[in-house]
């Protein structure tokens, strides 16, 4: 058994397989998931697990060089935007329209679905390197 880190074997495997610039998505319960992108569904009930919990745990185990958010988050979900700015204060954060965000998700290695039910609580995390 692992001593620490992510216990979910599917998430752990995806993170281990990421290369530089590969992207994963952490999504709220409502984000449409493209048919050809693998899904890891963690949603148990409304709000569980939260977007913030999943982002925190994944980002502790992943080198993130860039974050992409839907620009609509600025007006529709200030609390989540504040959390993302604090969590990724040393990381470049880019903004695209929600429609463009959904297009970018088609290239993701995986989409991790949370139980989050607040608007635009979705992010794309781009893998960096440790060297």
Known binding residues: 28, 98, 120-122
Known binding residues for substrate: 28, 98, 120-122
2 inside domain: no
* Catalytic, out of 20, 56, 74, 106: 20
Report d(CA 114, CA 118) in Å as an integer. 11
10 as an active site residue: the answer is: no
Q: What CATH number did the domain enclosing 45 receive?
A: 3.40.1650.10
- Domain span at residue 57? 9-127
pTM over 0.85: yes
Number of independent structural domains in the chain: 1
111 by DSSP, 3-state: which?
strand
C-alpha distances in Å from residue 40, one per residue of 25, 49, 129? 10, 13, 23
Question: For the segment 99-118, what is each residue's pLDDT rounded down to a tens digit?
Answer: 999 999 999 999 999 999 99
**CA R_g for the chain:** 14
Q: How many CB atoms lie within 10 A of CB 31?
A: 20
Question: For the segment 65-109, what is each residue's pLDDT rounded down to a tens digit?
Answer: 999 999 999 999 999 999 999 999 999 999 999 999 999 999 999
43 inside domain: yes
DSSP label at residue 129: -
80 inside domain: yes
4 inside domain: no
62 inside domain: yes
27 inside domain: yes
């Amino acid at each position: 058994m692992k001593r620490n880190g992510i216990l979910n074997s599917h998430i752990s495997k995806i993170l281990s397989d990421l290369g530089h610039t590969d992207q994963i998505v952490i999504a709220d319960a409502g984000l449409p998931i493209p048919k050809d992108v693998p899904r890891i569904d963690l949603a148990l009930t409304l709000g569980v697990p939260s977007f913030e919990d999943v982002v925190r745990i994944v980002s502790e185990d992943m080198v993130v060089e860039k974050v992409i958010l839907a620009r609509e988050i600025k007006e529709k979900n200030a609390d989540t935007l504040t959390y993302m700015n604090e969590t990724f204060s040393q990381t470049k954060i880019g903004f695209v329209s929600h429609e463009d965000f959904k297009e970018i998700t088609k290239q993701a290695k995986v989409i991790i679905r949370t139980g989050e039910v607040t608007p635009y609580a979705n992010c794309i995390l781009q893998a960096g390197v440790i060297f």
